[in-house]
Amino acid sequence: MAHVVPDGFSLAGLHCGIKRNATRNDLSLVVCDGPTVAAGTYTTNKVFAAPVGWDRAHTPSDHVRVLAINSGNANACTGARGDDDCRAMAEAAAATCGATADDALVLSTGIIGEFLPLAKISAGIKAAAAQLGDDEASLVAAAQGMMTTDTVHKLASRRVTAGGAKLQLTGMAKGAAMIGPKMATMLGVVMTDARLTPESAQTALRAAVADSFNCISVDGHMSTNDTVLLLASGTACDAPLAGDALADFQAALDVVCQELARAIPGDGEGATHLVTIDVTGGANRAAAHTIAKTIAESPLVKTAIAGADPNWGRIVSAAGYADTAFDPRRCTLHVNSYLLYRHGTPVGFDAAAVSAAIRDNRDTKIELDCGSGEASCRFWTTDLTAEYVRLNADYHT
C-alpha cells in the first residue's frame, strides 16, 4: 500500500555513523512547513532518557518546527551530559530551518548508557536537511532511521473526511523488544494535516495510545525511551476540528495507532506467533487490561504458544494472578475458536486439532470471557522462543 506524507511535512532518513552497518539508516529528520501543533505521550519509567524529558517539557505545543530522531543510541542513563547532548541535538535540528531549540523535538533509541556521538549526529542532521522530500521514499527512509532490532519498518496511514475536510494521517513506529509500555511505547510519530488545538491533539493522542501502544507487549520490560508524538500541520482545514469532525479524526487516529502498535509485536524479536488476546466480560476496562497484560507477559503462556501447546491452565492461572478481581467459575476460554475451559471446569477438546491450529498459523487468538461485566480489552503480544533468548543473550543492545 502506498503511504502519503500529509501536507505540511517533509522528511529524510540516512546513515550518519552511529550504527556500525553503513547500510542501516540511523538518523531521521521531520521538518514542518510552519509552526505545528504537537502532542506527546511518554514512558512512565522513572529512568527516562534525556529526549523524553526534553519532549515532555515541550508538548503540547503549537509551534513545533522540526523533529530529529536517531537510532543506535538511547541517550538514557547519561546524566546531566545526556541532557546537554539532547539540547545540542535540538539546536542542530532547529538550525536547519531557522528555528530555536524550543521549537524542536528529539527522539533517541538504541543502547542505554553511552553518550551521543554529537559530531556524527550534527553532520547527519545537516545532510538530512539537504535531502528532505515529501514522497513515499523519503517517508520510508525516515521510518528506517528509527529502527533498532526491527526487521521491517512500520508505517500506517488513513485518509478520512471530517467536517468536510479531507484529512491525511500517516504514522511511523519502531520497536521489537524492551516492549512493555505503560502510557506509551517505544517510538511512534503520527503526522496529519488536520487542524487541532494543542489540547485536543493531546487528548486525542492519549485516547488513541490507550487502546494501541498501551496494549502491546513483547517482553514486558518498559523502555526508558517510549514516546509517541502526534504532529498536526493544520493545512487541511481552516479551523481546529471539534465535535463530530474531531470524533471522525479520533477514529482514524485510533486505527493508525493500532495498526502501528500491532506491527511491533508482529516484528517481535524471535517471535513465531503474533498473539491477539481479547478479554471480554470484564468488570471495567482497567480490569480487562490488567488481565490481558498479565496473560501477555507470562513466559509460560508465551512458551506454550511457541510450542503449539494448548496449555490452557497457564492462561487461566495467569488471569488468576492479575492484580484485579477474577472469578474462574465465571470464565470461558477459547483459543483459535476452540473452547478449552468453561465456568471453572475443564471441557473435553481435541488437543491435537488445537495444537495444529496454533502451529499452522502465525496469528494466535486467545479469547477470555470473564463473565463479570461489559468491559473489554484487545492486547497484542508475541510468543517466547529460544531465538528471543539467543538474540538477547548474545548481543549487547
The site for a second copy (CB under 8 A) is made up of 43-48, 74, 76-81, 111-115, 177-178, 180, 182, 219-224, 297-301, 303-304, 306-307, 309, 311-314, 316-321, 325-329, 341, 343-346, 384-386, 388-390, 392-397
- All residues at 6 or more sequence positions from 157 whose CB lies less than 8 Å from its CB, including other chains: 1, 3, 4, 168, 169, 170, 171, 256
Helix, coil or strand: residue 280: strand
Task: Closer to a second copy by CB, 73 or 144: give it.
Answer: 73
- All residues at 6 or more sequence positions from 395 whose CB lies less than 8 Å from its CB, including other chains: none
Helix (H) or strand (E) holding 11: strand 9-14
Tell me the closest approach of the beta carbon of residue 206 to a second copy, in angstroms: 19
C-alpha cell at 338: 476452540
User: Residue 268 CB: number of other CB atoms within 10 A?
Assistant: 30
Tell me the closest approach of the beta carbon of residue 51 to a second copy, in angstroms: 15
| DSSP β-ladder status, 363-369 and 375-382 | unpaired
Nearest to 157 by CA among 76, 256, 235, 254: 256
> Quick check: 198 and 60 in contact, CB under 8 A?
yes
Tell me the closest approach of the beta carbon of residue 144 to a second copy, in angstroms: 24
C-alpha cell at 71: 537510532
Helices (H), 156-197: none
Task: Closer to a second copy by CB, 249 or 379: give it.
Answer: 379
C-alpha cell at 133: 522530500
Task: Closer to a second copy by CB, 34 or 113: give it.
Answer: 113
The DSSP secondary-structure symbol of 5 reads P
> Quick check: 237 and 163 in contact, CB under 8 A?
yes
Tell me the closest approach of the beta carbon of residue 111 to a second copy, in angstroms: 7
Nearest to 267 by CA among 112, 388, 365, 359: 388
> Quick check: 290 and 242 in contact, CB under 8 A?
no
Task: Closer to a second copy by CB, 246 or 331: give it.
Answer: 331
Tell me the closest approach of the beta carbon of residue 115 to a second copy, in angstroms: 8
Task: Closer to a second copy by CB, 131 or 303: give it.
Answer: 303
Task: Closer to a second copy by CB, 168 or 224: give it.
Answer: 224
Tell me the closest approach of the beta carbon of residue 254 to a second copy, in angstroms: 25
Tell me the closest approach of the beta carbon of residue 178 to a second copy, in angstroms: 6
* Rounded Cα–Cα distance for residues 257 and 317 (Å): 31
CA distances from 111 to 49, 56, 75, 279, 323 (A): 11, 21, 8, 35, 32
What is the set of active-site residues? 185
Helix, coil or strand: residue 127: helix
